[in-house]
Amino acid sequence: MKLGIIGLPQSGKTTIFNALTRGNTPTTASAGRFEVHTAVVEVPDPRVTKLSEMFKPKKTIYAKVTYADIAGLESGAAKSGISGQLLNQLTQMDGFILVARGFEDDSVLHTMGSIDPARDADIMLSELLLNDLIAVERLNVKGLAASVLSKQIRDASWAKFISMLRYKAEKAGARLVEVDPHNTSQECSGCGYVVAKTLGQRSHVCPICCLVLDRDLNAARNVLRRAGVGPGLLNLTVEGRVQAETSG
């Protein structure tokens, strides 16, 4: 079995690695660089020991676990794409040990500026999820028949495109998720407030949380949230959704 130890920089991954493997790998910061340390450890099993004592074989073989201390995964990695080297290491693992920092140390600053294990774990899970997730809006092409977008959508053969995209995603080991398209550009991706806009308004300005974003980027963040991406990476926690009097 191969287990990868992952977490944000300065979270204590190498300390956990040394504890599990009885190693002495230096715990100096990798500063986000790709780096891997591996060690193979025998798994103690009193049942195997007892059987060995009873039957006295020439050699007793215990189950082994390979631990890999993997550095290089950090917040925002999925935005530009996880590097080929790092992705290759991650795909070789049978499972992951996710390390989230819970200790204070003024000499070792946290990369996010504060200690919050739940946030850090969510960021790591979001990074892994984003790497193999394709999220699209579930458009009702027939319902657009009377709209100005009708011709463009039909010309693009949306349904055929989605079918091909799903096939390509599955071949690549990724996941395609279709989400409800209602109000993705109107809803604030920061607080959930619905900010009515015309098609000509290209910026999203929320009067509640003061979030200012490009309209399309705001919509993309909402699509990803609806596809199940956690709030850690996208900062999309919605504490009670406030609806405006008008909807887009």
Whether the predicted pLDDT of 233 surpasses 70 = no
Category of 94 on φ-ψ map: left (φ > 0), alpha (ψ -120 to 50) or beta: alpha
Task: Please report the DSSP string for 89-121 in residue order.
Answer: HHHT-SEEEEE------TTS--TTSS--HHHHH
CA distance linking residue 8 with residue 110, whole number of Å: 9
Rg (CA), the chain: 24
Residue 39: which H helix or E strand, with range?
strand 35-42
What's the confidence (pLDDT) of residue 132? 63
pLDDT digits 0-9 by tens, 212-222? 888 888 888 88
What's the confidence (pLDDT) of residue 40? 94
Mean pLDDT comparison of 42-46, 142-146, 167-171, 218-222, highest-scoring range: 42-46
CA distance linking residue 41 with residue 213, whole number of Å: 49
Residue 212: which H helix or E strand, with range?
strand 212-214
Whether the predicted pLDDT of 72 surpasses 70 = no
Residues 164-183: what's their mean pLDDT? 78
> Are the beta carbons of 75 and 233 closer than 8 angstroms?
yes
> Are the beta carbons of 145 and 246 closer than 8 angstroms?
no
Q: Which residue has the higher pLDDT, 230 or 210?
A: 210
The CA-based angle 146-150-154, given to 5 degrees, is: 140
Q: Which two tokens stand for residue 137?
A: 């809006």
pLDDT digits 0-9 by tens, 85-143? 777 788 788 888 999 889 888 888 787 788 888 888 877 777 776 666 666 666 665 55
Q: With a threshold of 0.85, does the pTM exceed it?
A: no
Question: Within 13 Å of residue 45, how many CA atoms lie on the same side as its CB?
Answer: 13
